[in-house]
């Protein structure tokens, strides 16, 4: 059945293939290429792509092919971790607000409404610039997640509100199920497709936020990441020096990553919202 | 719209700004580690402009001046008082310029570029999105979807990188960086305005290209769901002309969530465009922030972030208050 559905959903398939391709690039790349070349001073600086240095080198003497191979899984890691934590907090709060209502709803809803208009990147800049001395990929993901739960909270609360009054929940309540039991056995399974779609968009948003921080120079200083590579290339004027290979590689990987995530998200959206499915 | 609603909405705006400002104050101070002034002085010592032995003494003097030796709650009230008076101290990096003056110089550039580019993208994207979901629109609009998808998946500043390389480095049609030619003095002459516009073409284009797809996708989603609604069938049945059904019935109903998301994503646009400014070395708030971060200019960072928060909050407030003009259903509720 799932196979049949995949065949009718070309966007989901295309997205999954792109993401799979990026993972293969890392898996195969890290076995074939010596990733120690991602360190500074491992090669002569400012080399154009050649047979020896396939994607060239940057001003600090990093080879860009190993840099890309090392950086690609890190973007996934930040996105998956931050997306997961953000969505978890959002789901728990959204369920509590929607299901229990009353004061709980007022407090959680109020908090989400007040925090939502605060531009996340602005606050992230302040946090990241304070602790940047020993920033790791994991800490960065948690910083991003700390401001990524408001949208899931609100959308999941709305979903729970529409489901709460339906017949099967009423019957479950009459048959003596407790609040938590209803949430886990009746509501959550129905929300799974929706949660899957939210997860993918949360991952995309987290990758976007972390790339933004890195491009401002606020990423991990000692680990190669896509955003930091863009940052260094701007910092050393790669654009004005015509060193397209420096920023070109990360750009292609980032575009592929976002396109893949976007296609998967809109493909899952079709499963989650049958209304969209009919019209597209 | 009742006065009570307006008052509540304005109170929410004040609450948002207060909470965000508190977050900015507390988070960095709770986080382990950095001492901005000592770090700045250490940097100055490295570059040879301050004697190594004088650092401790200077650090203490700075701390006293900015109240960093006081208990946290005293600092908090002092900080809030300063913020109320829009006093963000002096820049550590560009001493002795005041932060507020630096922001004042940069703000017009950013607002001019952002507002224009965002509104163009919003209008263009909303119209295109509506047309791609409209069954009776010319076939050509459905071919626009894939490229719009592709562009909306790319962060703004990366398109900026590509544009600089193609149209400023390879084909030098446009200036490679800056807001105006170096050495020209700002003036209200036609010639100066033209050069400013000329310099803003590429940054604006990168924002418009990336954002149009985003708006088109949102609008398309909305329009798709209005297609089956009763009032649309009714409008068709009344025999109204196609474009009237499209504009007055379809677009008008579908545009409201777009407006909401215009307000909500303004923060996102601001932060995305900050990076566009850095790519083009545009003399706006983004470039100032970039310099402040790389020099760890704590006060300037705080000042800029405060202005971004107020700007986004204000935009949300104004859009919320103008809702009733857009949707007849809301108008009835507040009447």
DSSP codes joined into one string, A82-122: HHHHHHHHHHHHHHHHHHH-HHHHHHHHHHHHHHTTS-HHH
The SS3 assignment for B257 reads: helix
CB-CB neighbors (< 8 A) of A130 in chain B: 27-28, 31, 33-34
Q: Which of A25-29, A92-96, A276-280 has the lowest mean pLDDT?
A: A276-280
Element (H, E) at B286: helix B285-294
Measure in Å the smallest separation between the Cα of A170 and chain B Cα atoms: 29
The yes-or-no verdict on residue A36 having pLDDT over 80 is yes
Interface check for A272 against chain B (CB to CB < 8 A): the answer is: no
Across the range B256-284, mean pLDDT stands at: 75
Measure in Å the smallest separation between the Cα of B269 and chain A Cα atoms: 9
Residue B185 CB burial class (10 angstroms; 0-12, 13-18, ≥19): exposed
Please answer yes or no on whether A121 and B290 come within 8 Å at the CB atom.
no
Please answer yes or no on whether B305 and A258 come within 8 Å at the CB atom.
no
Measure in Å the smallest separation between the Cα of B309 and chain A Cα atoms: 6
pLDDT of residue A16: 92
Please answer yes or no on whether B161 and A211 come within 8 Å at the CB atom.
no
The yes-or-no verdict on residue A257 having pLDDT over 90 is yes
Please answer yes or no on whether B12 and A280 come within 8 Å at the CB atom.
no
**What residues contact residue A114 under an 8 Å CB cut-off, 6+ apart?**
B12, B15, B16, B19
Do B217 and B148 meet the contact criterion of CB atoms below 8 Å apart?
yes
Q: What is the pTM of this model?
A: 0.81
DSSP state of A47: P
Across the range A166-193, mean pLDDT stands at: 80
Interface check for A247 against chain B (CB to CB < 8 A): the answer is: yes
Across the range A249-260, mean pLDDT stands at: 91
pLDDT of residue B64: 67
Per the model's pLDDT, the better-predicted residue between A60 and B327 turns out to be A60
CB-CB neighbors (< 8 A) of A265 in chain B: none
pLDDT of residue A278: 44
CB-CB neighbors (< 8 A) of A114 in chain B: 12, 15-16, 19
pLDDT of residue B324: 62
Please answer yes or no on whether A212 and B33 come within 8 Å at the CB atom.
no
Alpha-carbon torsion A110, A116, A122, A123, what sign?
positive
Please answer yes or no on whether B302 and A115 come within 8 Å at the CB atom.
no
Q: Measured between CB atoms, which of A114, A240, A279 is closest to B15?
A: A114
Q: Show which of residues 221-240 on chain A sit within 8 Å of chain B, judged by CB atoms.
A: 230, 234, 239-240
Please answer yes or no on whether B312 and A131 come within 8 Å at the CB atom.
no
Interface check for A82 against chain B (CB to CB < 8 A): the answer is: no
Q: Measured between CB atoms, which of B153, B266, B268 is closest to A258?
A: B153
Do A62 and A37 meet the contact criterion of CB atoms below 8 Å apart?
yes
Residue B183 token pair:
């050495």
pLDDT of residue A21: 95
pLDDT of residue A253: 93
Interface check for A262 against chain B (CB to CB < 8 A): the answer is: yes
Across the range B271-277, mean pLDDT stands at: 76
Please answer yes or no on whether A259 and B279 come within 8 Å at the CB atom.
no
Please answer yes or no on whether B161 and A247 come within 8 Å at the CB atom.
yes
Alpha-carbon torsion A153, A154, A158, A161, what sign?
positive
Please answer yes or no on whether A127 and B31 come within 8 Å at the CB atom.
yes
pLDDT per residue as tens digits for the range A187-204: 888 788 788 888 888 898
Q: Where are the alpha helices (DSSP H) in chain A?
A: 2-8, 10-32, 64-100, 102-115, 120-130, 137-146, 150-164, 167-174, 179-182, 188-215, 226-235, 244-272, 274-279
Per the model's pLDDT, the better-predicted residue between A224 and A133 turns out to be A224
């Amino acid at each position: 059945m799932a196979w049949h559905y995949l065949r009718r959903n070309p966007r989901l398939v295309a997205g999954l293939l792109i993401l799979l391709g990026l993972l293969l690039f890392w898996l195969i790349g890290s076995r074939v290429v010596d990733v120690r070349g991602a360190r500074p001073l491992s090669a002569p600086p400012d080399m154009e792509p050649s047979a020896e240095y396939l994607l060239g080198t940057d001003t600090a003497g990093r080879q860009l092919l190993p840099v890309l191979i090392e950086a690609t899984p890190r973007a996934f890691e930040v996105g998956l971790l931050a997306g997961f934590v953000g969505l978890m907090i959002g789901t728990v709060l959204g369920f509590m607000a929607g299901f229990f209502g009353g004061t709980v709803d007022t407090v959680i809803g109020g908090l989400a409404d007040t925090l939502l208009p605060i531009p996340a990147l602005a606050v992230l800049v302040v946090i990241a610039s304070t602790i940047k001395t020993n920033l790791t990929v994991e800490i960065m993901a948690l910083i991003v997640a700390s401001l990524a739960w408001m949208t899931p909270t609100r959308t999941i609360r709305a979903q729970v509100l529409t489901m709460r009054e339906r017949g099967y929940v009423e019957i479950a309540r009459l048959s003596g199920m407790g609040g938590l039991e209803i949430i886990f056995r009746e509501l959550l399974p129905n929300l799974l497709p929706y949660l899957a779609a939210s997860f993918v968009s949360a991952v995309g948003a987290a990758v976007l936020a972390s790339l933004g921080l890195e491009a401002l120079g606020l990423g991990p200083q000692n680990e190669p990441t896509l955003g930091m590579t863009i940052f260094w290339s701007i910092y050393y004027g790669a654009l004005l020096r015509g060193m397209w290979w420096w920023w070109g590689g990360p750009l292609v990987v980032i575009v592929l990553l976002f396109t893949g995530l976007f296609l998967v998200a809109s493909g899952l959206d079709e499963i989650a919202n049958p209304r969209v499915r009919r019209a597209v | 719209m009742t006065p009570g609603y307006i008052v509540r909405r304005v109170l929410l705006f004040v609450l948002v700004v207060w909470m965000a400002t508190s977050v900015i104050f507390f988070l960095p101070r709770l986080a382990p580690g950095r001492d901005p002034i000592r770090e700045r002085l250490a940097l100055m010592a490295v570059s040879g402009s301050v004697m190594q032995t004088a650092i401790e003494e200077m650090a203490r003097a700075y701390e006293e001046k900015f109240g960093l030796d006081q208990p946290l709650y005293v600092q908090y009230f002092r900080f809030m008082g300063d913020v109320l008076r829009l006093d963000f101290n002096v820049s550590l990096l560009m001493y002795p310029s005041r932060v507020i003056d630096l922001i004042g110089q940069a703000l017009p550039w950013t607002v001019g570029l952002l507002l224009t580019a965002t509104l163009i993208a919003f209008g263009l994207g909303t119209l295109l999105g509506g047309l791609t979901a409209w069954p009776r629109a010319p076939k050509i609009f459905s071919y626009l979807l894939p490229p719009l998808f592709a562009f909306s998946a790319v962060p703004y500043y990366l398109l900026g990188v590509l544009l600089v390389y193609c149209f400023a480095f390879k084909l030098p049609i446009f200036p490679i960086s800056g807001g105006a030619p170096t050495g020209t003095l700002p003036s209200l002459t036609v010639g100066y305005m033209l050069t400013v516009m000329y310099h803003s073409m590429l940054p604006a284009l990168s924002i418009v290209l990336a954002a149009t797809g985003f708006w088109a996708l949102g609008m398309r989603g909305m329009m798709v769901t209005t297609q089956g609604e009763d009032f649309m069938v009714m409008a068709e049945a009344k025999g109204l002309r196609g474009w009237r059904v499209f504009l007055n019935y379809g677009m008008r109903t579908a545009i409201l969530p777009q407006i909401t998301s215009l307000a909500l994503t303004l923060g996102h646009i601001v932060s995305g465009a900050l990076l566009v400014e850095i790519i083009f070395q545009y003399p706006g708030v983004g470039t100032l922030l970039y310099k402040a971060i790389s020099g760890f200019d704590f006060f300037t960072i705080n000042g800029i972030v405060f202005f971004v928060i107020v700007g986004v909050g204000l935009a949300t407030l104004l859009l919320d208050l103008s809702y009733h003009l857009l949707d007849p259903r809301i108008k009835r509720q507040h009447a």
